[in-house]
Amino acid sequence: MTIHPCAAVALAFTVALVTPAPSGLHAQTTDSTYRMFTAVTLRPDAALRSGGESARVDEQEASREIDRLKDERARIEARVNVQKADIDALKSRSDLAKKDGRDADRADLEFRRRRADADRKTLEEIKSLFGDQLDEMTAKRDWARARAKTYDAELALARKRQERVERASADSTALGRLDSEILDLEEKVLNARTDEASKQASWASRYRDTVAQETSVWRSQQAARSIKP
């Protein structure tokens, strides 16, 4: 069973509350403010390095997708404008046919106008979909960027904690400075995780908007197909 990273962090936090720190840290509690139990648990170094690289790749891919979606939305907007002009032209021809008493021509033109207008509505929905996808992809890029910062913050803390272990026999001044740096880095990790969670929630909200708009496009397409002469 695969465990989501957020769930893994929560599980690690629970374990940290009931599990003693590694034996190499016990002596530190007698001469410094370093705590035997820590709420800021870290993932393995290898996972942090690979996770950071993956997050940066995701950010780059999202940025490229944002550019593509902007181009697609601009093309659809141009098509909408052309479609509106076509509808206006069909209406003018239909009005003229009505004036001339050409009922058959008018019926055909009215049918074509109604189909064209239905297509316009679908294009408008597609344009809105591209807008929602842009918002979603922007949120996904921001989430990836936040994940990378979290991985980097955790790596920095892991290195500083390891340095603290290796210098356990140093003088109290040096240990106090290391402990202070560790506390600062722990706060940075927590802040980074909070920001990452916020960015993830924002992406999830945008994704729901995208799915809802996909449904609107589908329904608009069905409505357009249902128009009969």
DSSP structure string for 128-175 = HHHHHHHHHHHHHHHHHHHHHHHHHHHHHHHHHHHHHHHTTTS-HHHH
129 contacts 217 by C-beta, under 8 angstroms: yes
Task: Domain count for the chain, please give it.
Answer: 1
**Residue 122 structural domain:** 5-225
Q: What is the pTM for the complete model shown?
A: 0.78
Helix (H) or strand (E) holding 80: helix 45-100
Distance CA 69, CA 65 (A): 6
Contacts of 30 (CB under 8 A, 6+ apart): none
Please tell me the distance from the alpha carbon of residue 212 to that of residue 189, in angstroms, as a whole number: 35
The string of pLDDT tens digits covering residues 55-104 is 999 999 999 999 999 999 999 999 999 999 999 999 999 999 999 999 99
Q: Residue 97 sits in a domain of what CATH number?
A: 1.20.1270
pLDDT digit string (tens) for 37-49?
A: 678 999 999 999 9
Lowest mean pLDDT segment, chosen from 70-79, 151-160, 170-179: 170-179
User: The tokens of 90 are what?
Assistant: 């069909």
pLDDT at 101: 94
pLDDT tens digit string along 206-225?
999 999 999 999 999 999 99
Label residues 177-216 b or e (16+ Cβ within 10 Å = b).
ebbebbeebbebbeebbebbeebbebbeebbebbeebeeb
Vertex 146: Cα angle to 2 and 64 (nearest 5)? 95
pLDDT computed for residue 229 by the predictor: 83
pLDDT (mean) for 101-128: 96
Cβ neighbours for 11, distance < 8 A, ≥ 6 positions apart: 3
Percent of the chain with pLDDT over 70: 84
| pLDDT, mean of residues 166-192 | 94
